[in-house]
Chains A and B, each alone.
Chain A
Amino acid sequence: MKNREEIFEILKTQFPDAVLGIDSSLPTEVIILIDPFKIKEVSLYLRDTEELNFDVLMLLSGVDDANGEKVKDEEGCDLIKGGTLSVYYHLDSINLKHKVTLKVSVPREKPEVESVYYVWRTSDWHEREAYDMIGIIFLNHPTFERILMPYDWEGYPLRKDYKNPEFYQGMKIAY
């Protein structure tokens, strides 16, 4: 069993480029920041190293950080320009009973992250949901499409600047 700071030190020596830092400013959880295009390498290492053995991906969640610049569009609706979207990975080890949280931040205009589908098979639907709700694109995911919303839905509902559409397939949506 290792605590999160020890895990960070191991990762930092193994992947000096991929591990961007550790965020321990928040009192409740320590979060390790990872490069979006190296996340698969780091994940494989976390899963297959004997002393770490993170065999379970408990949760993968997409988050709109809403830290960009707030502007008005031509209709006067709020819009966020710039800033980041994030993906959080909560990992757990059944044998060693330790946990870790990874975080990947990507620019809002080009939200691309390496998929961990081939590391933890459970991430399949989680990644599709993060795409469906937040609009994060996972590269090298074999069946990448919407999951909860209809396949032809436009926009990403959980973004902070999401605007409810007036029509869906020509039908007026009542609220």
Chain B
Amino acid sequence: MSLKTERMILNMGPQHPATHGVLRLEVEVEGELVIRVKPHIGYLHRCFEKHAEAMMYNQVVPYTDRLDYLAAMYNNWGYALAVEKLCGIQVPERVEYIRVIMGELQRIASHTVAVGTYGLDIGAFTPFLYLFRDREKILTLFEMTCGARMLYNYIWVGGLSHDIHPDFVRMTKEFCSYFKPIVEEVNNLLSFNKIFIERTANIGVLPAETAINFGCTGPVLRGSGLAYDLRKDDTYSIYNKFDFNVITGTGMMGTVGDCWDRYYVRVLEMLESIKIIEQAIDQIPDGDVQSAVPKRIKPPKGTVYTRVENPRGELGYFIISDGNTNPFRVKVRPPSFVHLEVMDALCRGHLIADVMAILGSIDIVLGEVDR
């Protein structure tokens, strides 16, 4: 007797707890094996780029918050950098320092969510709660500074919306010394947990050449073993003043470029961010954070493409100016959008249960995929 086999289309989403948003995956399976994955996106599409064309340059900043809502500071910063380059605005030293500190705090906050929810996808519930408790401390720092916990509208073109609170420096230092042992704890709870390693090591291996051809950046590319970080390789702001390491995947638990490597790059990057904050926090110079904020932004005709190292990868803004107060065209290069393309290549030949492990390891935010 022979068993009848045929390919089946399995639908995941749009409402699925492990998709971190509204994403539909069309998975073609043969038994338990994945033959093909086709992501369907656009459920959160609100045409940010069309909105931006109708706004003045400074009015676009709150919209950028809502792209990658887990790293809103960085989205503000990327946009501000692009417009500053277009207009030739030089921001004060104090602003640069505060931006770096906020950006790195945001990177830690974003990575805690990435690491925590990744554990949740795999079935480890505890690390998620621990990390959300600590993310709360960062959000408190942000709330103290600008009043918002999630969508800040903090980094403006030419400056910042508020100066830091008098207690900010002390509390940030306290946070840094508090957070370092937490990473150790996460490693004991999750990273070196036998079950977690079995689920993630040797799964979804992404070779470096494939990653480059797919345009992957950030932890996904570094997980494949290539030390490429825009903070060092195409430096912006004042990152060249600080000493930190670029973390890469080493294949410690399996193959270089597997899910575990991508996950572990994020864990170690949190420590590097702490290092940068500790160097920057004592050197903040005095000054006015709004002295370079222009009253009316009217850049000359031109185009500009700037990129920053967002927690997820290369976040780029391409702005075309026609000499008016509104941008002619704003185009975002969201890292998650580019990373989601690689899903199909990573999932082929794996089991259905591995699809979630792979999706969690590339850490997407649907708000920025769909814009």
Residues of A within 8 A of B (CB): 26-29, 31, 55-59, 61, 63-64, 88, 90, 94, 97, 101, 120-122, 124-125, 133, 147-150, 157-158
Contact between B305 and A157, CB atoms less than 8 A apart: no
What are 28 A-B contacts defined by CB distance under 8 Å?
A: A28-B85, A28-B302, A28-B303, A28-B304, A29-B305, A56-B212, A57-B215, A58-B314, A58-B316, A59-B305, A59-B333, A61-B329, A90-B305, A94-B212, A97-B233, A97-B234, A120-B213, A121-B214, A122-B213, A122-B214, A122-B215, A124-B341, A125-B337, A125-B341, A148-B45, A148-B371, A149-B42, A158-B47
User: What's the Cα separation between A118 and B57 when bound, in Å?
Assistant: 37
User: What's the Cα separation between A138 and B4 when bound, in Å?
Assistant: 41
Within the complex, what minimum Cβ distance (angstroms) separates B210 from chain A? 8
User: What's the Cα separation between A28 and B331 when bound, in Å?
Assistant: 16
Contact between A59 and B302, CB atoms less than 8 A apart: no
Contacts of A94 in B (CB 8 A): 212, 226, 228, 233
User: What's the Cα separation between A64 and B320 when bound, in Å?
Assistant: 11
Within 8 A of A (CB), among B295-310: 300-305, 307
Contacts of B340 in A (CB 8 A): 125
Within the complex, what minimum Cβ distance (angstroms) separates A106 from chain B? 16
B370 within 8 A of A: yes
Contacts of A149 in B (CB 8 A): 42, 45
Of B41, B49, B333, which contacts A147 at CB under 8 A?
B41
Residue from A28, A29, A61 whose CB has the most chain B CB atoms within 10 Å: A28
B338 within 8 A of A: yes
User: What's the Cα separation between A150 and B212 when bound, in Å?
Assistant: 30
Within 8 A of A (CB), among B14-52: 41-42, 45, 47, 49-50
Chain B interface bracket (under 10, 10 to 19, 20 to 34, 35 or more)? 35 or more
B318 within 8 A of A: yes
User: What's the Cα separation between A28 and B317 when bound, in Å?
Assistant: 14
Of A88, A121, A148, which contacts B41 at CB under 8 A?
A148
Of A31, A56, A157, which contacts B47 at CB under 8 A?
A157
Contacts of B304 in A (CB 8 A): 28-29
Q: Knowing A120-B213, A133-B49 are in contact, say whether A90-B302 is a contact too (CB < 8 A).
A: no
